[in-house]
Amino acid sequence: MTPAVVRARKGGEPLVCLTAYTTPMARIVDAHADVILVGDSLGMVVHGLPSTLGVTLDMMILHGRAVMRARPRALVVVDLPFGAYEAGPAQAFAAAARVMAETGCAAVKLEGGVAMAETVAFLVARGIPVMAHVGLMPQQVNAIGGYRVQGRGADAERVLADAQAVVAAGAFAVVLEKVAEPLARRITEAAPVPTIGIGASAACDGQILVVDDMLGIFSEFRPSFVRRYAELGAMAEAAVAAYAADVRTRAFPGPEHVFADT
């Protein structure tokens, strides 16, 4: 998969997108996904941060390398973290170039619409494929007043303008996060590039979820737009409890788990 192939999927079979942050998870996801996002959500689901704002460029590169070691077939996109690109196109290019050179990924993702259109165009003109992200932008959570739905009522024109701006700037795909369904459908129908929904519309050209949410591993909170396809966190807790009980009762290790002297 390449950015060009993803772009060409507009209007076709929906794109399957998931996050991954480690080599083992990347291998599992890659068997089924078209796009693997090394998202800055890793700050919360892997590192225990209260939001994505504390994620650094070094953290993104570390996890990007881990995902690329899986030798994925899917397109790997790495998030640019908060503070790594907002100062201007030159800063964004330096960050994106470092991410691509040090991880081997094929594209980067950044949040922002009209305000980031110039930066998107700057990167694309210099050979860096960009996946855009509009609607709810977690890196701006303090400015927008929380994780609320975007694009309702009069707010629809703002979100629409953001999507149009990054598409015109050359983004090969646009993530629509927590955007009211009618607007997400409207953007998808008008955009010449794929839209990837997360809490948006089934009409989007693809869908993405945080893999730890979808598998029931991350339990700090549960977004309403997430469908749990498994409850691996509960299964892991039960397994650890069983192990602890076996150790305390000397049921583990058993004879089959130790070695004789001959």
Residues annotated catalytic, as ranges: 177
Residue 256 CB burial class (10 angstroms; 0-12, 13-18, ≥19)? exposed
| Cα 139 off chain centre by | 13
Helix axes 156-169, 181-190, angle to 10 degrees: 30
Are 180 and 151 spatial neighbours (Cβ–Cβ below 8 Å)?
yes
Beta bridge partners of 197: 176, 207
Are 42 and 63 spatial neighbours (Cβ–Cβ below 8 Å)?
yes
Are 98 and 141 spatial neighbours (Cβ–Cβ below 8 Å)?
no
Q: Give the tokens for residue 18.
A: 């998931």
CA separation for the pair 96, 78 (Å, rounded)? 9
